Amino acid sequence: MRHTSLASLPCPVARTLDVIGEWWTLLIVRDALLGARRFEDFKATGIADNILSARLKKRVDEGIFERQPYQERPERHEYLLTEKGEGLALVVAALRSWGQEWTHGNDQSLRLSHRDCGHEVSTTAYCKQCGHPLTRDEVTLERIGPSAGAGSVSALTR
């Protein structure tokens, strides 16, 4: 099934989904954050070779990974996260946090830790202005730009 590109939409969420918006991509990034570098490392998730190959190629083209040779005969490459790819660490951590709260099952995934002290990192949202930690009931979504208008505010409360 072919999807429409979201790359030109005036919304960073849509543009981000155009780059990483299917489940294999974020699992590949998760595994890379945990140290996977080679094609065989990424296969541990259960992804088919053809899908993995296509996803890695697209993520290299998008600048999420850098492809570097590690063997000449046969030619083989490692896939290293770029700064752009490493920037997805907090996205993966936020998805993990959501999954811990809203899904059921064992958690043998990953833990995002502060390098200096070793403690787990929180994905808590904070107000940029006052620094106050926020809960879901304190947050609203607001449209910005020319499309903002009546009915553009949506509370995240139930």
* Whether the bond into 74 is cis, omega within 30 of 0: yes
What pLDDT score was predicted for residue 119? Answer: 92
97 or 154, greater pLDDT: 97
**Residue 59 to residue 97: CA distance in whole angstroms:** 24
Cβ burial of 154 (10 Å; 0-12, 13-18, 19+) is exposed
Q: Are the CB atoms for 96 and 109 separated by under 8 Å? A: yes
Closest Cα to residue 122, out of 152, 88, 90?
A: 90
Q: Are the CB atoms for 17 and 25 separated by under 8 Å? A: no
- Crossing angle of helices 23-33 and 12-20, in 10° steps, is 80
Domains of the chain: 12-111 (1.10.10.10), 124-158 (no CATH)
What pLDDT score was predicted for residue 158? Answer: 40
pTM score of the predicted model: 0.79
Helix (H) and strand (E) counts in the chain? 6, 6
Radius of gyration of the chain (CA): 19
* pLDDT tens-place string over residues 74-123: 999 999 999 999 999 889 888 888 888 889 988 877 777 888 999 988 88
* pLDDT tens-place string over residues 19-60: 888 889 999 999 999 999 999 999 998 999 999 999 999 999
**Which two three-digit tokens encode residue 75?**
């030619």
